[in-house]
Amino acid sequence: MGYITNYQYYTNNGIIPTDSNWGSYQYVSLADIVNNFMLMYVGNDKLVNNVDRYNVLFHAKRAVQELNYDALRNIKVIEFELGDDLKMIMPPDYVNYVRISMLNNGVLFPLVENRTPMSATSYLQDNNLDIVFDVNGEIVTGTSRLDILRQEKQLYTGMGPYQGQYGYYWDGDWYFGYNFGKRFGLNTEEANVNPKFHINKAAGVIDFSTGVENKTIVFEYISDGMENGDDSLITINKLAEEYLYAYIKWALLNNKYGVQEYIVNRVRREKTATLRNARIRMSNLHPARLLMSLRGKDKQIK
Amino acid sequence: MINEVRNTVLSILSKDNRGYITPFEFNLFAKQAQREIFENYMQQYSNAYLKRIGRAYGEGYTDVPKRIAEGMDIFYTSSNLTYSGTHFNTPANMYLLDKLVYNSLEVEKVSHKKILNLLSSNLTAPTTSYPVYTYDENGLIVYPNPTTAVSAYYLRFPLDPKWTYVAMGAGDSDPLFNPSAPDYQDFEVSGDEFTMLVVKILGYCGVSIREQDIVQIAKTQEIQDTQQKQ
């Protein structure tokens, strides 16, 4: 793709959305990557020859995914209001979370992950506690009891130290969340005043504990950069462009029959070195930032 | 060039009164000779290209693959394809399909063995950004189904040469060459194929008039000419 004029950059030629070109100069498109590779790295007088474009496309996309997982850290941020079910469906391009925060009185409170399950697949059982199957022989599932308990905290009106506290009533007994810490010592892993969340990968949802219903949640996550399958939207930062070429070259030669091992090793080292370079470049380690951090070295801790 | 070729062929044939070929026979032989030379370009180009990779050829005037490619380039053309509902029909004069283009994007050819894998692939399924096609007896199938015109860029067959003439009276020995006739068609292969055209046509003439020595001379000359070009 050719360069665009300043007018096109700032106003998109007056076409809505007028901001679609802002910051676009940082990026190179997937189409450019594939085209450049086919043009410059494929040929009978080059290391790579007789390769189909879809092979290059596949490895280019894999390289983009790999970069998105760690080096690029292109973090997407969404905010939403949580409902009473305390569940959030993962975004369609979700790969992993970076941070989940709760917006309360204009302040972001980072939430802590709770690794114990907050919901489960609930098998329906009959009166004899036998599992119920449908006509196809599949197990019939219902609403998770964990889900219900999480959402239906009840006020304990009985006597004793827990009077007036909210807890869970189950099978004739009361359960209070904070008893865990009091009785067995503080669980430092999860010790936090803020609500918690649990990533339910199988269900594709994120469960939250009570206390965040009807609150605004700010969700930071990473994707794989595939833009929901729209190839024309896939871009990569120019600082990592060389890595993409090196990765594609390595992937093609590494899987090709008859390529000498020293050539495979050469391109593998090139791939590793360019990834390292890309990481350093993307980490933005420049003197001004280091200076900013070092300014705090003399500050007395009271 | 066609008249010079015919005159040369007739001169060689008429020596020692070996025989004569009619304009109709000449046109048939000329068509066959040109087709052979044209189809041989591919092999010549492939061999020369491999030699260039091995640095057997240099640049400029010593760049043999370039010269062969230029000979082929005059047959390179393009046309919009017609759609039959499921397939795109290939042009009737197409010799070798180079590429398909739609929406200014090249459509990549995919083998029948791979197309199903490709269609079910998450990362590499054909899209409007990366379209593909397959080729079967009914024509070309483009994935995804294009909404704009599809153009084919291809090498076409050379037009059939035709030496046209004005018939003379009964007493005249040879018809008169008439390049103004509407169906006149000169050779399309480049001028440096003159010798090859003559020897190939001579070869067919020798078979036609049963002159073994003509066939032998033509074969020897053809081998020499081919070796010189490599």
Tell me the pLDDT of chain A averaged across its residues. 85
Which of A110-124, A204-218, B143-157, B216-230 has the least mean pLDDT? B216-230
- Chain B positions touching A54 (Cβ under 8 A) are 108, 110, 118, 124, 130, 132
CA-to-CA distance for B167 and B157, rounded, in angstroms? 30
Q: What percent of chain A has a predicted confidence (pLDDT) above 90?
A: 30
Answer whether residue B34 shows pLDDT above 70. yes
- Chain A positions touching B100 (Cβ under 8 A) are none
The helix-helix angle for B194-208 and B2-14 (nearest 10°) equals 40
Answer whether residue A144 shows pLDDT above 90. no
Q: Which of A31, A52, A58 sits opposite B129 (nearest CB)?
A: A31
Answer whether residue B18 shows pLDDT above 70. no
Tell me the pLDDT of chain B averaged across its residues. 83
The helix-helix angle for A241-254 and A30-40 (nearest 10°) equals 60
Specify the pairing of strand A96-104 against strand A107-110: antiparallel
pLDDT given at position A185: 65
pLDDT given at position A209: 84
> Which segment, A18-22, A142-146, A267-271, is predicted with the most confidence on average?
A267-271
Q: What residues contact residue B142 under an 8 Å CB cut-off, 6+ apart? A: B88, B100, B102, B107, B131, B132, B133, B150
Q: Is B176 on the interface with A (CB under 8 A)?
A: no
Condensed to tens digits (0 to 9), the pLDDT of residues A3-17 reads 888 898 899 888 888
- Chain A positions touching B118 (Cβ under 8 A) are 54
CA-to-CA distance for A219 and A179, rounded, in angstroms? 30
Q: For residue A176, with 0-12 CB atoms within 10 Å meaning exposed, 13-18 middle and 19 or more buried, which class applies?
A: middle
pLDDT given at position A151: 66
CA-to-CA distance for A190 and B42, rounded, in angstroms? 72
Q: Chain A: give the shortest CA distance to residue B41, in Å.
A: 19
Among all chains, which residue has been given the structure tokens 């009914």?
B138
DSSP string, A197-227: EEEETTTTEEEE-TT-TTSEEEEEEE--S-G
Tokens of B92: 């009737």
Q: Is B107 on the interface with A (CB under 8 A)?
A: no
Answer whether residue A181 shows pLDDT above 80. no
Q: What percent of chain B has a predicted confidence (pLDDT) above 70?
A: 87
Specify the higher pLDDT residue, A115 or A260.
A260
Whether the Cβ atoms of residue B153 and residue B99 lie closer than 8 Å to each other: yes
- The DSSP output letter for B154 is E
Whether the Cβ atoms of residue B45 and residue B70 lie closer than 8 Å to each other: no
Q: Chain A: give the shortest CA distance to residue B106, in Å.
A: 10
Specify the pairing of strand B150-156 against strand B76-80: antiparallel
pLDDT given at position A267: 95
Answer whether residue A29 shows pLDDT above 80. yes
pLDDT given at position A169: 73
CA-to-CA distance for A216 and A111, rounded, in angstroms? 12
Condensed to tens digits (0 to 9), the pLDDT of residues A194-231 reads 888 988 888 888 988 888 888 899 999 988 888 888 88
Alpha helices in chain A (DSSP H): 6-11, 30-40, 53-69, 145-151, 179-184, 241-254, 261-282, 287-294
Which of A16-25, B11-20, B96-105 has the least mean pLDDT? B11-20
Asked if B127's CB is within 8 angstroms of A54's CB, the reply is no
Answer whether residue B214 shows pLDDT above 70. no
Q: Is A50 on the interface with B (CB under 8 A)?
A: no
Condensed to tens digits (0 to 9), the pLDDT of residues A146-159 reads 777 666 677 788 88
CA-to-CA distance for B214 and B230, rounded, in angstroms? 25
Among all chains, which residue has been given the structure tokens 């099978």?
A171
CA-to-CA distance for B93 and B133, rounded, in angstroms? 20
Q: Which of A31, A54, A61 sits opposite B108 (nearest CB)?
A: A54
Asked if A232's CB is within 8 angstroms of B123's CB, the reply is no
pTM of the model: 0.76
Q: Is A92 on the interface with B (CB under 8 A)?
A: no
Q: Chain A: give the shortest CA distance to residue B65, in Å.
A: 13
Mean pLDDT of A122-130: 88
Q: Chain B: give the shortest CA distance to residue A58, in Å.
A: 6
pLDDT given at position B15: 65
Q: Is A93 on the interface with B (CB under 8 A)?
A: no
pLDDT given at position A280: 87
Q: How confident is the model at residue B24 (pLDDT cuts 50, 70, 90)?
A: confident
Asked if B123's CB is within 8 angstroms of A44's CB, the reply is no
Q: How confident is the model at residue A165 (pLDDT cuts 50, 70, 90)?
A: confident
Asked if B127's CB is within 8 angstroms of A58's CB, the reply is no
Condensed to tens digits (0 to 9), the pLDDT of residues B125-175 reads 998 889 999 998 888 999 998 878 889 999 999 998 888 888 766 665 678
Residue of A30, A54, A227 best to disrupt the B interface, most CBs of B under 10 A: A54
CA-to-CA distance for B162 and B181, rounded, in angstroms? 10
| Whether the predicted interface score ipTM is above 0.85 | no
Specify the higher pLDDT residue, A38 or B55.
A38
Residue of B104, B123, B130, B134 best to disrupt the A interface, most CBs of A under 10 A: B123
CA-to-CA distance for A178 and A167, rounded, in angstroms? 9
Q: How confident is the model at residue B197 (pLDDT cuts 50, 70, 90)?
A: confident
Q: What residues contact residue B59 under an 8 Å CB cut-off, 6+ apart? A: none
Answer whether residue A179 shows pLDDT above 60. no
Q: What residues contact residue A41 under an 8 Å CB cut-off, 6+ apart? A: A47, A48, A245, A248, A249
Answer whether residue A127 shows pLDDT above 70. yes
Among all chains, which residue has been given the structure tokens 């996309």?
A61
pLDDT given at position B101: 92
CA-to-CA distance for A28 and A47, rounded, in angstroms? 24
Backbone angles phi, psi at A232, to 5 degrees: -70, -15
Q: Which of A44, A62, A231 sits opposite B127 (nearest CB)?
A: A231
pLDDT given at position A188: 75
Q: Give the chain B residue nearest A227 (alpha carbons).
A: B123
Residue of A42, A51, A53 best to disrupt the B interface, most CBs of B under 10 A: A53
Size of interface A-B (CB pairs under 8 A): 33
Q: What residues contact residue A189 under an 8 Å CB cut-off, 6+ apart? A: A115
CA-to-CA distance for B132 and B144, rounded, in angstroms? 8
Q: Is A58 on the interface with B (CB under 8 A)?
A: yes
